[in-house]
């Protein structure tokens, strides 16, 4: 209903309240609470949000369950802000909402509940240890699923498919899914919920709602920055997300309704992008986290090769039954490491990997060594390109480096990262009501500098371990020898 041009949005009748360590009380509708009772949602209690990061930052044991609740909470604030700040024409044209209609409350409820459900369920398809198992999930995709996922997420190749997001979509939409049946019992359209998780071109209203779930300034990123900072003690992610949320609005621009951030929140936007690059350097790209996660991928592949696991274990049908979580993998791994000492590090810190490249300065030193040993004088950019290709050849098995001792294992990570992607569908528009908005890069020289910094400090990590040899027993000359052999191999690869 309206009063003097003001639209009053309906408020939900909440069934339960859950206390969260980051956001405080999070209120749930009856439908949401019933979903949280199901096996696929309870499984998220035992999926570490930060993978193996707790082995470096001991308190980083937050789960996908609590993160999902946090995303729901922030998505709710965002959809209320968007609808509440829209003009009457904007409500009618963008969302087909007429405040003077008898069905206004019902239609508002449908939109808000749909957004809340998409937020709650967006990570239900994650494999064990979150992103660590993503390459394993990719291997269980069937040919028809690969084509469907490429279409739904606008991917050019199989490698680009965000598999856990596709699994979330499938777990919601499958005909016999317990998630689908629960949602439908409350007369909510399941396809409307699932469509907010994909990237396929859609009408304006869906595009706007999708940005709440997945965009440069979505509820997902806002929650994980706050939550990860809270869990690890790192301060970088403690940003002013509320200033951003209360300053988003929709307005018609270039013949379609767009989500815009008011210019008064520009500094908060810059801050959240700055926070992401710092968190990537300090947390997500931490050398030991990267090494252990690469080691876990090897361990899972090793267990599959020996029949202790099957690739089919990582299918979404099993996730729907609440199966295959972190405890399941850790139980298997404890037995496996008894006969595979290369995986002792997960249970005995004396055997953790040794880092060769763990900071940007290490990488710079590595590049200088390569340049000194090269027969020609390549540019830094050419060397970096050769380094990337060399890493890909090693990871794909095309190249086998030599080591000072038999059985040594090389652990390689490449983390390309940009705080602000400039794809058309992911742009952040900055402006004020009634004026033409501008792309963030045209507005903020600070973000342009951030992007340059991110490109300069692309995260490369190299570590190694020698089975049954404790880290303290690996001498400086061993480390130096490994570095020399790798440098020689990279120099050789450039002339192959």
Q: What is the pLDDT of residues 240-265, one digit of tens each?
A: 999 999 999 999 988 889 999 999 99
Would you say 463 and 356 are in contact if contact means Cβ atoms under 8 Å apart?
A: yes
pLDDT computed for residue 404 by the predictor = 59
Structure confidence at residue 482 as a pLDDT band (50, 70, 90): confident
Would you say 90 and 81 are in contact if contact means Cβ atoms under 8 Å apart?
A: no
Chain mean pLDDT for the chain: 91
pLDDT computed for residue 5 by the predictor = 47
Q: How far is CA 127 from CA 12, 130, 409, in A?
A: 33, 5, 25
**103 bridge partner residues:** none
Burial of 144 (0-12, 13-18, 19+ CB in 10 A): exposed
Report pTM. 0.94
Specify the range with the lowest mean pLDDT, choosing from 102-106, 107-111, 383-387, 445-449: 383-387
- CA 166 to chain centroid, in Å, comes to 13
- Write the CB contacts of 250 (distance below 8 Å, at least 6 apart in sequence): 82, 85, 86, 90, 94, 208, 257, 258, 259, 260
Residues 438 and 58: their CA atoms lie apart, in Å, by 42
pLDDT computed for residue 2 by the predictor = 46
**431 bridge partner residues:** 262
Residues 383 and 374: their CA atoms lie apart, in Å, by 10
Between 350 and 462, where is the model more confident?
Answer: 350
pLDDT computed for residue 428 by the predictor = 95
Residue 1 has pLDDT above 50, yes or no: no
- Write the CB contacts of 242 (distance below 8 Å, at least 6 apart in sequence): none
Q: What percent of the chain has pLDDT over 90?
A: 70
Sign for the CA dihedral angle at 311, 313, 316, 319 comes to negative
Mean pLDDT of 128-151: 96
pLDDT computed for residue 402 by the predictor = 62
pLDDT computed for residue 415 by the predictor = 75
Mean pLDDT of 131-143: 96
3-state secondary structure labels for all residues of the chain:
CEECCEECCCCCCCCEEEEECCCEEEEECHHHHHHHCCHHHHHHHHCECCCCHHHCCCCCCCEHHHHHHHHHHHHHHHHHHHHHHCCHHHHHHHHCCCCCCCCHHHHHHHHHHHHHHHHHHCCCCCCCCHHHHHHHHHHCCCHHHHHHHHHHCCCCCHHHCCHHHHHHHHHHHCCCCHHHHHHHCCCCCHHHHHHHHCCCCCCHHHHHHHHHHCCCCCHHHHHHHHHHHHHHCCCCCCCCHHHHHCCEEEEEECCEEEEEEEHHHHHHHHHHHHHHHHHHHHHHCCHHHHHHHHHHHHHHHHHHHCCCCCHHHHCHHHHHCCCCCHHHHHHHHHHHCCCCHHHHHHCCHHHCCEEEECCHHHHHHHHHHHHHHCCCCCCHHHHHHHHHHHHHHHHHCCCCCCCCCCCCEEEEEEECCCCCCCCHHHCCEEECCCCCCEEHHHHCHHHHHHHHHHHHCCEEEEEEECCCCCHHHCCHHHHHHHHHHHHHHHHHHHHC
Would you say 272 and 225 are in contact if contact means Cβ atoms under 8 Å apart?
A: yes
Region class of 434: left (phi > 0), else alpha (psi between -120 and 50), else beta: left
- CA 376 to chain centroid, in Å, comes to 40
Cα-only R_g, the chain: 24
Residues 80 and 212: their CA atoms lie apart, in Å, by 11
pLDDT computed for residue 129 by the predictor = 97
Provide the CB-side half-sphere exposure for 8 (13 A, CA).
5
Would you say 25 and 19 are in contact if contact means Cβ atoms under 8 Å apart?
A: yes
Would you say 430 and 273 are in contact if contact means Cβ atoms under 8 Å apart?
A: no
Residues 441 and 439: their CA atoms lie apart, in Å, by 6
pLDDT computed for residue 318 by the predictor = 98
Q: What percent of the chain has pLDDT over 70?
A: 94
Would you say 134 and 229 are in contact if contact means Cβ atoms under 8 Å apart?
A: no
Residue 123 has pLDDT above 90, yes or no: yes
Mean pLDDT of 61-78: 98
Would you say 244 and 265 are in contact if contact means Cβ atoms under 8 Å apart?
A: yes
pLDDT computed for residue 4 by the predictor = 42
Mean pLDDT of 9-36: 95
Mean pLDDT of 175-194: 97
pLDDT computed for residue 403 by the predictor = 63
Domains and CATH numbers, the chain: 2-233 (1.10.3210.10)
Residue 423 has pLDDT above 80, yes or no: no
Would you say 109 and 97 are in contact if contact means Cβ atoms under 8 Å apart?
A: no
Which of 374, 396, 384, 377 lies closest to 492 in space, CA to CA?
A: 374
Mean pLDDT of 380-396: 76
Burial of 377 (0-12, 13-18, 19+ CB in 10 A): exposed
pLDDT computed for residue 495 by the predictor = 59
State the first-to-last Cα distance of the chain, in angstroms, to the nearest integer.
Answer: 72
């Amino acid at each position: 209903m309206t009063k003097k041009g003001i639209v009053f949005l309906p408020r939900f009748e909440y069934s339960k309240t859950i206390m969260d360590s980051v956001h405080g009380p999070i209120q749930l509708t009856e439908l949401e609470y019933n979903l949280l009772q199901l096996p696929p949602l309870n499984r998220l209690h035992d999926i570490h949000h930060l993978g193996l990061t707790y082995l470096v930052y001991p308190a980083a044991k937050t789960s996908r369950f609590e993160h999902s609740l946090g995303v729901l909470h922030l998505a709710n604030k965002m959809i209320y802000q968007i609808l509440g700040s829209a003009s009457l024409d904007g409500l009618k044209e963008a969302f087909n909402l007429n405040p003077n209609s008898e069905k206004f409350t019902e239609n508002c409820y449908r939109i808000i509940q749909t957004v809340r459900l998409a937020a709650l369920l967006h990570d239900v398809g994650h494999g064990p240890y979150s992103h660590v198992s993503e390459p394993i999930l990719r291997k269980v995709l069937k040919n028809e699923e690969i084509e469907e996922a490429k279409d739904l997420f606008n991917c050019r190749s199989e490698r680009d498919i965000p598999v856990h997001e596709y699994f979330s979509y499938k777990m919601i939409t499958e005909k016999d899914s317990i998630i689908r049946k629960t949602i439908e019992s409350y007369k909510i359209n399941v396809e409307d919920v699932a469509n907010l998780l994909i990237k396929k071109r859609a009408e304006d209203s869906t595009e706007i709602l999708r940005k709440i779930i997945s965009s440069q300034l979505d509820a997902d990123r806002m929650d994980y920055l706050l939550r990860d900072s809270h869990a690890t003690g790192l301060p970088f992610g403690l940003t002013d997300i509320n200033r951003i949320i209360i300053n988003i609005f929709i307005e018609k621009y270039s013949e379609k309704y767009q989500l815009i951030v008011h210019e008064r929140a520009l500094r908060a936007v810059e801050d959240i992008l700055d926070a992401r690059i710092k968190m990537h350097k300090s947390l997500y790209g931490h050398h030991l986290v990267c090494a252990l996660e690469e080691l876990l991928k090897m361990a899972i592949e090793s267990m599959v090769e020996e029949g202790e696991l099957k690739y089919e274990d990582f299918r979404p049908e099993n996730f729907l039954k609440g199966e295959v979580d972190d405890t399941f993998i850790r139980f298997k791994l404890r037995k496996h490491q008894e006969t595979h000492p290369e995986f002792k590090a997960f249970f005995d810190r004396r055997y953790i990997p040794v880092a060769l490249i763990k900071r940007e300065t290490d990488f710079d030193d590595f590049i200088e060594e390569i340049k000194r040993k090269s027969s020609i004088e390549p540019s830094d950019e050419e060397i970096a390109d050769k380094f990337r290709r060399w890493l890909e050849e090693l990871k794909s098995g095309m190249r086998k480096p030599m080591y000072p001792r038999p059985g040594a294992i090389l652990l390689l990570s490449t983390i390309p990262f940009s705080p602000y992607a400039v794809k058309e569908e992911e742009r952040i528009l900055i402006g004020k009501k009634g004026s033409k908005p501008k792309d963030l890069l045209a507005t903020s020289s600070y973000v342009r500098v951030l992007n340059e910094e991110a490109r300069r400090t692309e995260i490369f990590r190299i570590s190694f371990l020698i089975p049954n040899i404790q880290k303290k027993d690996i001498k400086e000359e061993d480390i130096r020898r490994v570095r020399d052999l790798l440098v020689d191999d990279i120099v050789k690869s450039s002339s192959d």
